Structure 1
Amino acid sequence: MHQITKSAALIAAASGVVFGLVTPLTASASGAPAPLKWAECEGDGLDPRQRCTTVSVPMDYADPGGPRIDLAVSRIPSEKPSARRGALLLIAGGPGGSSLDDPSGKGQKLPQEVRDAYDLIGVAPRGNAPSAPVSCEVDRSELGVTTQRPWPAPDGSVAGTMAANRRIAEACARNGGELMKHISTKNNARDIDSVRAALGERRLSAWAVSYGTYVGAAYSELFPHRTDRIVLDSNQNPDPVRAQRAWLQAFEESVEDNFPEFAKWASAPGNPDRVAGTAAEVRRLFLRLAARLDREPIPWPGANPAELNGNVLRHTMLNSLYDPDDYPALAELMLAAQRGTVPPVPQSPPEAALQGYLAVGSATVCNDAAWPGSAAVYQKEVAESRAKYPLTAGMPRNALPCAVWPWQPKEAPLRVTDRGPSNILLVQNERDVATPPSSARKLRDALGRRAVMVTVNSTGHDSYLANGNACGDATVSRFLATGQRPARDLYCD
């Protein structure tokens, strides 16, 4: 799951969806897809080769003749038409992320032989601007850093979280519109197949990251014979009952596994941001500072919330563990807190982006599977978590707006199986705070013979061409370019 500052049985309904196959939604009378009209993309810093279009899809796949929405789609064509194999869809994390600009961004990090083999495709998923954007129009206070994750009160109470959840859920019901009911992982997968059909591709390859691995797994489950070469990078637990709750709870152990890497860095001699003399002292200092800031917050004008409290420190810790390049942000905040001061206010995305991320993320998580509605359930689990995992202070077992969501899930959660072609490669860092190896192994086990997993001896979220290593990158690149996978699961040291 991605942080914003850097997160289903198929309805065999009606004419468009039967046994996982979808007829082209933009078909002409001859049955061939109608030509897409490509035009210049909006935005700055894009590759001039990138062009954009829209693809019309049903708002509700159970009612294909009902209202439709437009998905924004981007493309950079294969750089060597004679070597072209097909289309490679870049699937973003989140939920709430978009890959619309990725052909111009991360797509250009792909090796030449991969860029020669594929058109690079990006999509803004349903609800994400400019694809029929949704917003709950919550109060600005609900967009603060400590509401991006459900941090309990300093005394462990979940009452404040539940109250905030009710405000958010009521705002989503009031302002979100009909589309909010139809944002889900399964519908994201169906949208992908609608895009595939509109592109005129018989099969589709994909590089999916973080929450995107759940979407990629859903696509491979619902449309197995429409898949070509599938890379799932930084993998989410596909638990068919707990769904996204399993992702949240994984932070308990993954923070404990990853904090020592920060502590070693933050105690290294010569580090200008050194906070203590030993790794053990770094941990003790962090816990002591968080407890002190719980009792005595430091005013932080311009920030949201406008104080440096214990949960702001904890949230900064969680964000910083996503990528070792972000360790200095946590160290500098700890050093400032020791002095009783605050650093400059971190840059935040525009409010519209935060509103959209909250709306799409909440809708996806809450529509994928039902959550317990009793505050007592969360209070009990938060207390257990706080006692065992002090760094995360109970957050991983607290409630999201799903506990009071105004709509029930329309479908059963996604169940990933081993039915389908053996054409999936998982790549997973050994130390990943957002999607730890324990989550990746759950997905690997569910896919069975369909998949091979490459575990990379590296630290950080996002492995391939980001925080991985040369062995892992070469293995994934070889698979995308040639289809060659390791014969069995591989460890890249």
Structure 2
Amino acid sequence: MRRTLSIAIIVAAVATVMVPGVSQAETPTAIKWSDCPADVAKGVPMPEGMQCGTLKVPLDHRDPDGKQIDIAVSRLASKKPEQRRGVLLTNPGGPSSGLGYPAFLVATGLPKSVLDSYDVIGFDPRGIGRSTPVTCDLTVAQLVDGNIPPYARNAADVAKRAAESKKLAEQCASSKTASMLPFLSTANTARDMDKIRAALGEEKASYAGASWGTHLGALYTTLFPDRSDRIVLDSNLDKGGWDYASDRLWSQGVEDRFPDFAKYVAANHREYGLGWTPAQVRSKYLELGARLDKKPVESPDGTFDGKLFRQITFGFLYGAPQMPVLASVWKSLDANQAPPPLPGGDDAAAGAENLVSGRYYIICNDSSWPKSLATYQRNVAIDRIKYPLFGAAGANVQPCAYWPKAIEKPVQVTDEGPSNVLMVQNLRDPATPLAGALGLRKAFGDRAVMVTADQGGHGVYPMGKNQCANHAVTQFLVKGERPARDYHCTAAAEPR
């Protein structure tokens, strides 16, 4: 496996006629729009008329006249002014670059009715991409783990990972961008979003965010309830965002999602030879992981050990189109052969250092992580047994355990505010499991309604195949018609 490809997988591892004005208390700062750089929307066509610009915001929102940083913003304007409702701020999760996200949404089927109703707005979160990027001076070896801890076979593996994590945290705290470190957080990114809203001359903003973007949207509508219009949260983190509890939930997510893959592989046993039944495919996973722990498969492009095998499996459970690729990887490894190079690794890995660094800056500032090595060793031992597929990775140490104390207490999501939140969630999501979504749903109380879809993978709207769930989101964004209660969309796309 090419080193850059493994990095990419692990790192990667959603109507008024009049345009509202701004209040007297806000003077919008103009964004000068121009054509977007050609590489903003990698892998998808650039929609006609999409523009990009830059907005200055305070590094420290407590000091609005202090040091300013750049936030890169994109806009795909509605071509139907008579149908335009306002702006739809978007975020793809990550935290990662969102400047090209409007192009991705168009390419994956965002309905024309939504495009007519809104100017669709993308942006790079502070510290990431073109928004005053940060660094931790990560080496290629450090990037291979990305933001997913390696599978720990024993307490010694946890101690080794802890030492590596401490060094990484020290690198972030001493890098050339360390002065920005205290001010990168999801809450400050939400405050940047409100600056974007004001700069666009809007009294309110609608929002559609996926994965980590659900935490961003939850904090935005918590901090600015009166400026929130229609809020869509897709593939939801728990109320605490990306914290240690969220990492441990990956293990539940893999258990939820793996049966879908196992059924696919078993149904195609004559092609892959990995098991006639889902139970046999699960046994093959455990067998391959243990075998590669002891005897990795070497290739000119890298080493396929048990850690990489489990991480790649986790990443490729995100979407059904990736299942044939993952099954082929397994087939090669089962034969002690290196899989052929997979397409897209070099392009996907571009900018990985900033991406991984920016994620650490943000998520480690968002919450307090356990400091005790013994806590991680105990939790890894528990989750290795409870969730044998991925538990010993999800419970392992992150650099956040050694992070400087945050300057702001975490913002708590509550039920205070208008009832304008629509949550959509797959039942079998490996990265943001249903268990976490239920926690956020409870925190919102009457503010939210949740629509669940009987499908697997990470991401519901608009790329998902469940038309029942997709319809709910479109109706809410375009017409403001939100379901009166939580409901479930079956695999046949019928609500119940």
Aligned equivalents of 2:12, 2:66: Cα separation in 1: 37
Aligned equivalents of 2:259, 2:338: Cα separation in 1: 24
Deviates more, 1:51-60 or 1:154-163: 154-163
Q: Which residue of 1 aligns with 2:46?
A: 46
Is the partner of 1:484 in helix, strand or coil? coil
Match of 1:330 among 326, 334, 343: 326
Aligned equivalents of 1:113, 1:456: Cα separation in 2: 22
How far off is 1:410 after superposition?
1.2
8 A contact 1:181–1:367 mirrored in 2: yes
Gap change, CA 1:285 and 1:49, over 3 Å in 2:
same
Kindly provide the CA deviation profile for residues 142-166 of structure 1, in whole angstroms up to 9, marking residues without a partner as x. 011x454112443352022112112
Deviates more, 1:458-467 or 1:189-198: 458-467
Match of 1:374 among 365, 372, 375: 372
- Mark the runs of 5 or more structure 2 residues left unpaired by the alignment: 1-7, 14-21, 40-44, 491-496
8 A contact 1:429–1:468 mirrored in 2: no
Q: Which residue of 2 aligns with 1:32?
A: 27
Q: Which residue of 2 aligns with 1:17?
A: none
How far off is 1:3 after superposition?
6.5
Query: Which residue identity lines up with residue 314 of structure 1 in the other structure?
Result: R
How far off is 1:167 after superposition?
2.2
Aligned equivalents of 1:119, 1:239: Cα separation in 2: 30
Q: Which residue of 1 aligns with 2:70?
A: 70
Q: Which residue of 2 aligns with 1:401?
A: 399
Aligned equivalents of 1:152, 1:330: Cα separation in 2: 18
- Mark the runs of 5 or more structure 1 residues left unpaired by the alignment: 8-23
8 A contact 1:274–1:331 mirrored in 2: no
Q: Which residue of 1 aligns with 2:386?
A: 388
Deviates more, 1:67-76 or 1:148-157: 148-157
Aligned equivalents of 1:30, 1:265: Cα separation in 2: 57
8 A contact 2:10–2:146 mirrored in 1: no
Gap change, CA 1:222 and 1:341, over 3 Å in 2:
same
Match of 1:457 among 448, 454, 459: 454
Counterparts of 1:35-434 in structure 2 under 5 Å?
Answer: 35-44=30-39, 45-95=45-95, 97-107=96-106, 109-144=109-144, 146-156=145-155, 157-175=157-175, 176-239=177-240, 244-269=243-268, 272-273=271-272, 275-302=274-301, 306-346=302-342, 347-349=345-347, 353-405=351-403, 407-434=404-431
Aligned residues: 466
8 A contact 2:168–2:399 mirrored in 1: yes
Aligned equivalents of 1:274, 1:463: Cα separation in 2: 31
Gap change, CA 1:371 and 1:3, over 3 Å in 2:
farther
Q: Does 1:448 align with 2:448?
A: no
Query: Which residue identity lines up with residue 440 of structure 1 in the other structure?
Result: A
Aligned equivalents of 2:12, 2:413: Cα separation in 1: 29
Query: Which residue identity lines up with residue 335 of structure 1 in the other structure?
Result: K
Query: Which residue identity lines up with residue 325 of structure 1 in the other structure?
Result: P
8 A contact 1:93–1:212 mirrored in 2: yes
Aligned equivalents of 2:58, 2:104: Cα separation in 1: 29
How far off is 1:272 after superposition?
3.3
8 A contact 1:86–1:118 mirrored in 2: yes
Kindly provide the CA deviation profile for residues 226-257 of structure 1, in whole angstroms up to 9, marking residues without a partner as x. 011110000000138xx511211111212112
Query: Which residue identity lines up with residue 292 of structure 1 in the other structure?
Result: R
8 A contact 1:5–1:348 mirrored in 2: no
8 A contact 1:78–1:118 mirrored in 2: yes
Is the partner of 2:82 in helix, strand or coil? helix
How far off is 1:452 after superposition?
0.7
How far off is 1:188 after superposition?
0.8
Q: Which residue of 2 aligns with 1:20?
A: none
8 A contact 2:90–2:120 mirrored in 1: yes
How far off is 1:184 after superposition?
0.4
8 A contact 2:236–2:440 mirrored in 1: yes
Kindly provide the CA deviation profile for residues 152-201 of structure 1, in whole angstroms up to 9, marking residues without a partner as x. 44335202211211221122122133112211010011000010001111
Is the partner of 1:452 in helix, strand or coil? strand
How far off is 1:131 after superposition?
0.8
Is the partner of 1:416 in helix, strand or coil? coil
Deviates more, 1:443-452 or 1:162-171: 162-171
Is the partner of 2:488 in helix, strand or coil? strand
Is the partner of 1:158 in helix, strand or coil? helix
The runs of at least 4 consecutive aligned structure 1 residues that moved more than 4 Å come to 2-7, 348-352
Is the partner of 1:69 in helix, strand or coil? strand
8 A contact 1:457–1:468 mirrored in 2: no
8 A contact 1:83–1:116 mirrored in 2: yes
Kindly provide the CA deviation profile for residues 444-484 of structure 1, in whole angstroms up to 9, marking residues without a partner as x. 11111111110111111000112340111011101100000
Q: TM-score, normalised by structure 2?
A: 0.90
Aligned equivalents of 2:300, 2:254: Cα separation in 1: 29
8 A contact 1:234–1:463 mirrored in 2: yes
Aligned equivalents of 1:460, 1:153: Cα separation in 2: 25
Q: Which residue of 2 aligns with 1:467?
A: 464
8 A contact 2:73–2:99 mirrored in 1: yes
How far off is 1:438 after superposition?
1.1
Kindly report the root-mean-square deviation, in angstroms, between the aligned alpha carbons of the 2 structures.
2.1
8 A contact 1:235–1:439 mirrored in 2: yes
8 A contact 2:414–2:445 mirrored in 1: yes
Kindly provide the CA deviation profile for residues 388-437 of structure 1, in whole angstroms up to 9, marking residues without a partner as x. 211114111111001112x2111111211111111110011111111111
Deviates more, 1:387-396 or 1:123-132: 387-396
Deviates more, 1:479-488 or 1:159-168: 159-168
8 A contact 2:89–2:208 mirrored in 1: yes
Aligned equivalents of 2:372, 2:417: Cα separation in 1: 39
Aligned equivalents of 2:358, 2:381: Cα separation in 1: 29
Query: Percent identity, aligned pairs only?
Result: 40
